[in-house]
Amino acid sequence: MEYDLKSALENLAKELFGNDIEYRWVETYFPFTQPSWELEIFHSNQWMELLGCGIMKQDILQNAGAGDNIGWAFGIGLERLAMCLYNIPDIRLFWSSDTGFLNQFITDNVAAKINYKIISHYPQCTNDISFWLPGSDYSSNDFYDLVRSIGGDIIEQVSLVDEFCHPKSGKISHCYRIVYRHMEKTLTQEEVNTIHKEIEKSAVDYLNVTIR
């Protein structure tokens, strides 16, 4: 059981931090397992506790109706793990509902390398833009590139929030939400509108869309 437990959790550590990760087992005490261990990994030039584990006490399993079966258990601090994997500096960020933080971790690839980017303390300013697409050669990625080339660092997020197909003409419309935010000051709506108008004009000129 000890071999099964340790090999499984060592493989977990390697999957998260790489096959060359340095690790060690430390004997400890937990109330529901005996014997018990902590798995530590060498990360950022120091030893860090990754998880606690142990062989389940037999009376707990018997009282739960598991009979003579045996098993092991482990517990892992997900916030601490995420802070290490994504370079998140403050655990209080996990309580945030700020989309500037949350949207950084939306991905279709669970193996994607994500590095947290510091978000501004200043408020967001959100504008939507809707337009008819020119045809089948249109790509949303081209629009995303255009927005960021014009807005630069004050573009925090760009996302497609609605797609509509006209029932008679068959024309397709996209609506994008652009979130603006500055790292050093509060943006005024007037400042944002100026950039937003430039994005609209460039989308018409370079992507051949028709603003709605």
Query: Whole domain around residue 60: which residue ranges?
Result: 2-76
Q: What six digits make up the tokens of 133?
A: 């697409």
Query: Does a structural domain hold residue 95?
Result: no
Together in a domain, 143 and 65: no
Query: Does a structural domain hold residue 85?
Result: no
Query: Does a structural domain hold residue 88?
Result: no
Q: What is the mean pLDDT of residues 133-155?
A: 93
Question: 44, 76, 108 — which closes off a domain?
Answer: 76
Together in a domain, 199 and 129: yes
Give me the phi and psi of 99, to 5 degrees please: -65, -25
Question: 19, 54, 76 — which closes off a domain?
Answer: 76
Burial state string for 43-75 with b = 16 or more CB within 10 A and e = fewer than 16: eeeeeeebbbbbbbbeeeeeeeeeeeeeebbbe
Query: Does a structural domain hold residue 203?
Result: yes
Query: Does a structural domain hold residue 84?
Result: no
* E strands present in 94-195: 125-132, 155-165, 172-180
Together in a domain, 71 and 143: no
Query: Does a structural domain hold residue 177?
Result: yes
Residue 80: pLDDT band (50, 70, 90) is confident
pLDDT recorded at residue 112: 84
pLDDT of 16-34, one tens digit each? 998 999 999 999 999 999 9
* The total number of structural domains that make up the chain: 2
pLDDT of 85-143, one tens digit each? 899 999 999 998 999 999 999 888 887 889 999 999 999 999 999 999 998 789 999 99
The residues, ordered by sequence, that sit 6+ positions from 186 with a Cβ below 8 Å of its Cβ are 122, 123
pLDDT > 90: percent of the chain:
82
Evaluate the omega torsion of the peptide bond into residue 134 and state whether it is cis, within 30 degrees of 0: no
How many Cβ atoms from other residues are within 10 Å of residue 156's Cβ? Answer: 23
Residue 173: half-sphere exposure toward Cβ, Cα within 13 Å: 14
Together in a domain, 207 and 135: yes
> Coil, strand, or helix at residue 145?
helix
Average predicted confidence (pLDDT) for the chain: 93
Together in a domain, 70 and 129: no
pLDDT > 70: percent of the chain:
100
Together in a domain, 195 and 132: yes
Query: Does a structural domain hold residue 44?
Result: yes
pLDDT of 182-208, one tens digit each? 999 999 999 999 999 999 999 999 999
Query: Does a structural domain hold residue 87?
Result: no
